[in-house]
């Protein structure tokens, strides 16, 4: 059967006759079938190792090619680095008891006669769960696509007709994916998580902030609390955003240099700006209530 081989980015990279492919799509029916072979081309290795989100025909039945957003980009170096970090994490499938390699699929049994969803791997970092390299600088647009793809496959609603065990596992996996995504989505929580992976925590009062900075933050908070002028608060909101954006740039540089001490200081400052942002949101909600 002639099939079209798709890269994770959605591009057609080759056409080939093959009866064993989890990632091959019939040119006519656009139906997915089983067990991906290793297909090398100039564009990408189509084995789709740990990052695969399509596991078998039953998991994606009715999921048309046009709606399929691939789990990873075409970055082979990143993919290789992530695979190397999954060494020694093989485990038996809870249903068929065959050894499952997370390099091939993080979420499902890779044997075509099974394909059942697997228990979460506690050893995985949030970066590994989302299939991206550990870095402060991430493509949040791409990660959001990955997240939506995973939700399409892992969401508990997809397992409503499955066994109790499968429903329970899907809830656990979905919860972990949500936690990973929203932690990595925002610069503050992402930076704090990277420090956590390095064994560094930011305790309250553990960093001496400049008195001038603390006084400035206090004055801004007081202005928000005492203000009834929406334009004034909007100006504060924009200034705060600019401050946060500048901190993100400084954090990016600090993490690229592995300067975790400086990153810790910058994240401590960002916490104060996040608090100002919360105060602005409270003002806007209260204002909206008055306007109603």
The residues spanned by each domain of the chain are 48-185, 211-291
The 10s digit of each residue's pLDDT in 24-63 is 333 333 333 233 333 333 323 323 333 443 433 333 333 3
Same fold yes or no, 48-185 and 211-291 = no
Q: pLDDT averaged over the chain?
A: 77
List beta partners, residue 26. 3
Lowest mean pLDDT segment, chosen from 132-136, 264-268, 287-291 = 287-291
14 forms bridges with which residues in the sheet? 5
Q: Determine the CATH number of domain 211-291.
A: 1.20.1280.20
* Cα–Cα distance measured from residue 153 to residue 117, given in angstroms and rounded to the nearest whole number: 10
Tokens in use for 254? 């600090």
Instruction: Find out whether 103 and 83 touch, Cβ atoms under 8 Å.
Output: yes
CA distances from 127 to 44, 53, 78, 131, 200 (A): 21, 15, 11, 6, 17
Band of the pLDDT at 77, cuts 50, 70, 90?
low
Query: Token match 């690229």: residue?
Result: 256
Could you tell me the two tokens for 27? 């040119």
pLDDT tens column, 158-179 = 999 999 999 999 999 999 999 9
Q: 88: burial class by Cβ within 10 Å (0-12, 13-18, 19+)?
A: exposed
pLDDT at residue 204, rounded to an integer: 58
Residue 71 has pLDDT above 90, yes or no: no
Distance CA 13, CA 48 (A): 14
The pTM of the full predicted model, rounded to 2 decimals, is 0.73
Tell me how far apart the alpha carbons of residues 171 and 168 are, in angstroms, rounded to a whole number: 5
* 8 Å CB contact between 174 and 154: yes
Give the pLDDT score at 17: 35
SS3 track for the chain: CEEEEECCCCCEEEEEECCCCCCEEECCCCCECCCCCCCECCCCECCCCCCCCCCCCHHHCCCCHHHCCCCCCCCHHHHHHHHHCCCCCCEECCCCCCEECCCCCCCECCCCCCCCECCCCCCCCHHHHHCCCCCCCCCHHHHHHHHHHHHHHHCHHHHCCCCHHHHHHHHHHHHHHHHHHHHHHCHHHHHHHHHHHCCCCCCCCCCCCCHHHHHHHHHHHHHHHHCCCHHHHHHHHHHHHHHHHHHHHHHHHHHHCCCHHHHHHHHHHHHHHHHHHHHHHHHHHHHHHHHC
Q: Is the pLDDT of residue 256 over 90?
A: yes
Assign a CATH topology to domain 48-185: Helix Hairpins (1.10.287)
The predicted structure's pLDDT at residue 78 = 55
């Amino acid at each position: 059967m002639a099939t079209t081989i798709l890269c994770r980015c959605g591009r057609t990279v080759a056409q080939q006759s093959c009866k064993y492919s989890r990632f091959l799509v019939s040119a006519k029916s656009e139906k997915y079938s089983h067990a991906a072979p290793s297909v090398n081309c100039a564009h990408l290795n189509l084995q789709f190792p740990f990052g695969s989100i399509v596991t078998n025909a039953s998991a994606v039945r009715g999921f048309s090619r046009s709606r399929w957003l691939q789990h990873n980009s075409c970055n082979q170096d990143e993919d290789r680095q992530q695979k190397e970090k999954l060494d020694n994490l093989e485990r038996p499938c809870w249903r068929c008891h065959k050894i499952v390699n997370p390099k091939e699929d993080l979420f499902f049994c890779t044997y075509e006669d099974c394909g059942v969803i697997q228990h979460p791997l506690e050893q995985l970092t949030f970066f590994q769960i989302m299939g991206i390299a550990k870095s402060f600088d991430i493509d949040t647009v791409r990660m959001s696509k990955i997240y939506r793809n995973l939700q399409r496959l892992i969401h508990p609603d997809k397992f409503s007709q499955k066994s109790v065990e499968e429903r329970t596992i899907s809830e656990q996996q979905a919860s972990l994916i949500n936690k990973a995504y929203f932690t990595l989505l925002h610069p503050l929580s992402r930076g704090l998580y990277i420090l956590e992976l390095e064994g560094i925590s930011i305790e309250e009062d553990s960093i001496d902030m400049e008195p001038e900075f603390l006084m400035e933050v206090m004055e801004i908070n007081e202005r928000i609390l005492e203000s009834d002028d929406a334009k004034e608060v909007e100006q504060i909101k924009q200034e705060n955003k600019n401050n946060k954006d500048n901190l993100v740039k400084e954090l990016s540089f600090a993490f690229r240099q592995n300067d975790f001490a400086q990153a810790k200081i910058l994240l401590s400052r960002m916490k104060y700006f996040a608090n100002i942002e919360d105060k602005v949101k409270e003002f806007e909600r209260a204002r909206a209530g008055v306007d109603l």
